[in-house]
Structure 1
Amino acid sequence: MNISILKKIWILAAVVLSLMASIWIALTYYNQQTQEQYNDILQRYIRMNEASIASKELISSLNNYLHSPEPAQKEVLGTSKQKVREAKYEVYKLRNTDNDFELSNYINLMDSLTETVDRTLLLQAEKDTEEAGKTFAEATRISMYISEMTLTLIDKELNTYYPFYQGIMEKSEALKRLGLWLLLLITFLLIMFTYWFSLSITRPLLSLSRAAKELSRGRFDLKIEVQSSDEISFLAKMFERMRVNINNLIMEIQEKAQLEKELQDNKLLLQESQLRSLQSQINPHFLFNTLDTISKKAYLEGSEETSDLLVNVAGLLRYNLKRLNRSVTLYEEVRVLHQYVEIQKARFSERLQFHSEIDESCLHIQVPGLTLQPIIENAVIHAVEPREEGGVILFAIRDETDHVCVVFKDDGPGIPEHIVYSILNEQDVEFSGHSTGIGFSNVVQRLRLFYHVPNVIQIESISGVGTKVILNLPKIRSSENDVQSTDRG
């Protein structure tokens, strides 16, 4: 029977929850039973006490009525009599074999109290004040007897239920001891179950790890066997199948090793030559003018501005030489673009006006190295350098939900339609005596290979108005793109 790791985890959780639920239910049931018994005893005391209080209230109401026989006082007296009757009914419910005699006398006293009050009222109505006073005194004595009897009954109840209180205390102590032993037992069971559970996972993993080490040492003749009934078993079977396939291919690989080595050497040489070719495309015109600007500033100023310019040039050259063969973040590309612009501002001064609008939340996405600089360099060469009044370059990065939009816009003379067509078809061409920077068409080619999207770039150009280059960079690359990018790296 195959039990997945997820099922094992659910089993462990179910066992823990079941133990906790069982203990909680048992404790809740015990507490509920104890509470109900305690409340029942407490109610017995309360009912007896209420009967005593009701008798005293009745005597007080009768006294008030005798001194002031008004309708309001008579109504209060009637209410007090009703309370005595209700208290007698509640006390009657408390009868049991232990208090039958005392409780019968107690109820008879309450009946006698009610009858005496009624007789007092009758005598008061007949204007027999002396006899009414005597019956009132008798009613008062009966009320005192009821109070004394209440104390007697409560004392008897205490004696009767004292063993119960003792039982509660003993049960509480027993429950504490039981809770401690249950805690120790549950802890032990959980440790044992967790140990078994961890072994069921770690033991096959250790076996698989040892097999992987042997495979890494070239031991393809050892069979991989893992005793498990979960996903690790499936993984081990796949590992064994891979070992068999590799072992079957070893001879064939050895025969073709020399040929593969030669092909690989040739491929590496080709890639290196392509890389060197791309790196060597750094515009000599740009380097010459940059160095000339640095020398003039060093001669005229010899200040911090010159130092900053040197730092920007060094950073730019270092980036151009090291970053072309792998992907970078858009943040790194923007940083080197700003270094390039600072160098060009030092060169053209107020002739170059550069404005940027950047959504920093988009700067984490991956792009091919050296993507933005060739485009901005192309704008400087064709829109700023040839014109005496210079030019304006706008740069923006915007979040477009499913992709990031990077925009370059200049107010230069524009790019002819056939040049735009050649660039979009990855054909490197010359325009106005210059190449398109560090291979504008090469940028297009690398972007398409990197993202596997044909419309990753758009070029809108109007003669005499300017040029707008738009990069639509997907936020998520497909696995196919990753493979191609890796091959190119």
Structure 2
Amino acid sequence: MNRIQKKIWMLASVVLIIMAIIWIALTYYNQKTQNQYNDILQRYLSMNEVTSTSQKVVTDLNNYLLEPSENHLGKLDKSKDKLNMAKLEIGKLRNSKNEFALMNYMNLIDSFIETTDRSLMFYAESDTETSNKEFTEATRLSKYISEMTLTLIDTELKTYDVFYRGIIDQSAEFKKLGIWLMLLITLLLLVITYWFSLSITRPVQQLTRAANELSAGKFDKEIKVESNDEISFLAQTFNRMRININNLFQEIQQKAQLEHELQQNKLLLQESQLKNLQSQINPHFLFNTLNTLSKKAYLEGSEETSDLLVSVAGLLRYNLKWLDKSVTLQDEVMVIQQYMNIQKARFTDRLTLHLDIDHSCLEVQIPGLTLQPIIENAVIYAVEPREEGGQIWLRIKDGENMVKIEVEDDGPGISEDIRIQILEGERIETNSASTGIGFVNVVKRLRLFYGMENLMDIQSDIGIGTKVVIRIPKTRGVEQHAQTLNR
């Protein structure tokens, strides 16, 4: 056990011993006083029990005389037995001062019981008049018992009056003693606590001053602490630390600089991967678009081809302009509308797009060409293969700290294996040249752009349709991380 612990245990032991002594003294005094009070109270209760029981005997006797039955007779016998037991308890209260009065009181109880028995006997012999006289006598004796009980209680009160006054005086003196004792104990504890705290706080204050000097950059001053406990050992250790702290500080600075450069290189690598994945979108989309325009021009040769070319030009201009930058959801929605103009020319009434957009979310940043590959996938697999065509829903909803984007179609759905491959970012080998790159790369680009996983979920039932759900934060996580490093 170390020295500080010994000091703490010593102080705690002194406090516990003092508290134990006070508790034992108070408990002994209270128990003694309580026993005396209980004895006196028991005397009063025993006398009062005789009064109430005698009255109960008279009541039960009257009930029996008015309506003789086994039930009433049983109650009367119980009341008499209870009265006899109360008489025995009264006998235990006898002392030199009340011996004569208690003897008369007990004889009176015996007379009352005998009178009750005579009333029952005459009633059993059909001597109603004599039985009633005995009942009247029993009633008189019951009242006399009540009066005598009050007399005895009054005598007891006078006898124990001195005892009561002694207890009151003793309590007052004990209260004064308790106050002086509490003041003395408080003073003693204050002195012991001050001495104990001073033996700990003085070395701590010296150590604190030395620490403040070290924090101010003063590494040349030796640390000295006057103590014979663990704080002295702490000061010696602190002094050795002072010698090496400057070299450690330099090493920490170098490591921090290297870590900062490493994080910067990691961010640059992620941005490079993002640009590389974005660049893969252009060839497959350009191929599909030009294929649609060539078929349309061949079949119609109308002015509508001009509108399609305008839409294609806008798409290409958007693709080249925002290839390596983030865009807003508003830009993405505009691109979707241009793309759907092209596809509507191809599929006419077979393709329907439903828009449900919360315009308060359109300023949120997102990688360029994120939604178009998903819409394109829905067109290829949900609309194109079916003669009756299909419907596509685009929903953008506000979700407090994030924006929820849903792309849903009523196509044939996808299998669970393909769904898992897309979410895990694995390239899917299909007969189409577009989806294998576009959809999978959207997953990877979102993860790289936001620096987060689980941004996309796909829900699909075979024969019912597919829903792609994207939950994007309103603030880009990678940018927050970079700002933290710069600070």
What is the TM-score normalised by the length of structure 2? 0.47
TM-score normalised to structure 1 length:
0.47
